[in-house]
Amino acid sequence: MTTVTSPLAGRAIALASVPDPVFSGAMVGPGTAIDPVREPSEAVSPVDGVIVSLHPHAFVVDENGHGVLTHLGIDTVQLNGEGFELLVNKGDTVTRGQSIVRWDPAAVEAAGKSPVCPVVALEATADALSELREDGEVKAGDSIFLWK
């Protein structure tokens, strides 16, 4: 069982309400999303594991074959890394709560993009997740779902 924790402080929302059909349709996997507080912050690792994919706007941490995607905002790839600072390297081993990317959700919003952050269990089935948080305030490190 893998406990996946929130990479950010904000409000948990259902993945289905994310303004992007790839995420809202769970095409990359099930999960939840965080509507982040609008202040400069650091997105942290939601699990212990290895950084297997790293971009300014998104990262995947793999814990024992469970790849967890954190996507910082919607369509933020179009910002070409502007406003994002990588704090680790691909291949690094990280611990839950370790800072991965520094960014500013308010700046993302000012650039015309949604700052909502999907947190997805890659290649999982919906029934593999339990205790899914889809509402309420969360702090970085709070449990947002369990993956069996």
Q: Which residues are catalytic?
A: 71
**Which tokens belong to 85?**
């600072």
With b for 16 or more beta-carbon neighbours within 10 A and e for fewer, the 3-28 pattern comes to ebbbbbbbebbebeebebeebbebeb
Round to whole Å and give the CA distance between 51 and 59.
Answer: 7
